[in-house]
Amino acid sequence: MKRVAAVDLGASSGRVMAGTVGSSALEVSEVRRFANGGIQAGPVLYWDVLGLYRETVTGIHEAGHLDGVGIDSWAVDYGLLDERGALLGNPVHYRDPRTDGITVPVPDRELYDVTGLQQLPFNTLYQLLAEGDRLAAARTVLLIPDLLNYWLTGEIGAERTNASTTQLYDVRARTWATSLAARVGIPPRLLPPLRDPGTVVGTARALSGLPVIAVGSHDTASAVVAVPASPGTNFAYISSGTWSLAGLELPAPELSDAALAANFTNEGGVDGTIRFLRNVMGLWVLSETLRTWSTSDLPGLLAAAAAAPALAAVVDIDAPEFLPPGDMPARLAAACEATGQQPPAERAAVVRCILDSLALAYRRTLRAAASITGRTIDVVHIVGGGARNELLCRLTADACGVPVLAGPVEAAALGNVLVQARALGEDLPDLASMRALVRETQEVRRYEPSGVGDWDAAEARLTRNA
């Protein structure tokens, strides 16, 4: 039996989870939870990375005896280190508008052929181009998990699954795209040595020499490890949280013109797999709506939303106006009016509009993924926090027309501890064995399509009014 700490940092909160792994055991329990989120300081939206590090170390201490620790987090954001290894200021939040108007002097087709990434304005490539003079003072760029690993161990490096989200990574060669970086004006010297998931980074000096292990450090990479798919099934996955990432697991990148046109991304997964997916706005719009209303009564709102009329109003949940913080109910109303729909008036109807629109986005994304790759989808696995949302899971089954298997909720932490356990000697030779252990030990709920709602008509309504 191995006992490890999984540090799982999300955009709204972070947790230190204690995980136990054995031949027929897989458990995680929360040791410490702490708030996370953007901090507006003057004109810039930052992350409090020093606070995250403090909470991480405190949580690891509170976890008791451990055999290892691994860190996963959201993607794209980073810290810059100077020649002494000191941090050049707090990392900037990906929702900060500093990348507005930033362009890359490389044709989209050429950029996609190298990196395979969805064009998103907050990708690390765009953020680095927005740095200006700070790049001249920098010697290394470290994504958030790699930065915390460096502070724990003193070892500099970049784990591949997260590196693949930067748009500076050659997805076929599995190396940094140094020629591309130099061409766009990003010094290749900033890009640290790459490491695979399962590599022992070093030992934590402040934690009695505890081994620090590189996991699938992009939280979605860890979450996909814990998708409890049965062998031979044609499955899609949705890692549902503040963001939703919906797609397929492939053995090699899909870099076709159709994939580029549909704006799909090819991110690295554990054991050399490819996460062929598209970012969907996720539960961010719902959480911002609750914040605007100053309410935490999500269960009551979901119950009322379940009784509201289906597909009365839908919006393109991925539209750019829903990306920054703000008054989401007002933005939803404006989007409905712009497409000739009656805006939802009651709070339950607003919540139903959000979840119907999110399920519609899942349907659109997964159908496109299947069409581009020539694959069929027999089942959709929803993992992460969204697996708790029964209404969202039911609507996703209806929208996609296939069963939804919801859970585990703690997929990122489970995937994190599984990769650590293998690195520490547990007999988990491949993803199939890891997923078998997840199926044996974790709760999963099944939702069958009910046939409620004309999803084709709803999709046509959005397409017609686009």
Give 290-316 pLDDT, tens digit per residue: 999 999 999 999 999 999 999 999 999
pLDDT of residue 170: 98
pLDDT of residue 118: 85
Query: What one-character DSSP code corresponds to residue 90?
Result: P
Q: Which amino acid is at 217?
A: S
Give yes or no for residue 266 having a pLDDT over 70.
Answer: yes
User: What amino acid positions are annotated as catalytic residues?
Assistant: 219
Percent of the chain having pLDDT more than 70? 100
List the structure tokens of 46: 């930052």
Give 135-145 pLDDT, tens digit per residue: 999 999 999 99
Give yes or no for residue 229 having a pLDDT over 90.
Answer: yes
The pLDDT-based confidence of 466 (bands split at 50, 70, 90) is low
The pLDDT-based confidence of 338 (bands split at 50, 70, 90) is very high
Give yes or no for residue 36 having a pLDDT over 90.
Answer: yes
Query: What one-character DSSP code corresponds to residue 113?
Result: H
Q: Domain residue spans in the chain? A: 2-218, 227-409+429-466
Mean pLDDT of 229-235: 95
| Cα–Cα–Cα angle for 152, 177, 211, rounded to 5 degrees | 20
List the structure tokens of 197: 């998931």
DSSP letters for 385-435: GGGG-HHHHHHHHHHHTS-EEE--TTHHHHHHHHHHHHHTT-S--SHHHHH
Pairing of strands 445-447, 404-406: antiparallel
Architecture of the domain made up of 227-409+429-466: 2-Layer Sandwich (3.30)
Q: Which fold has domain 2-218?
A: Nucleotidyltransferase; domain 5 (3.30.420)
pLDDT of residue 119: 85
pLDDT of residue 367: 97
Mean pLDDT of 7-27: 95
Domains 2-218 and 227-409+429-466 share a fold: yes
The pLDDT-based confidence of 463 (bands split at 50, 70, 90) is confident
pLDDT of residue 120: 86
What SS3 class is residue 5?
strand
Give 58-103 pLDDT, tens digit per residue: 999 999 999 999 999 999 999 999 999 999 999 999 999 999 999 9
pLDDT of residue 465: 62
pLDDT of residue 284: 93
Cβ proximity of 240 and 220 under 8 Å: no
The pLDDT-based confidence of 132 (bands split at 50, 70, 90) is confident
Residue-averaged pLDDT of the chain: 96
Mean pLDDT of 31-55: 97
Mean pLDDT of 226-253: 96
Stretch (H or E) spanning 135: helix 134-137
| Nearest Cα to Cα of residue 219 among 67, 372, 13, 457 | 13
pLDDT of residue 187: 97
Give 386-435 pLDDT, tens digit per residue: 999 999 999 999 999 999 999 999 999 999 999 999 999 999 999 999 99
Q: What's the predicted TM-score (pTM) here?
A: 0.93
Pairing of strands 68-73, 78-81: unpaired
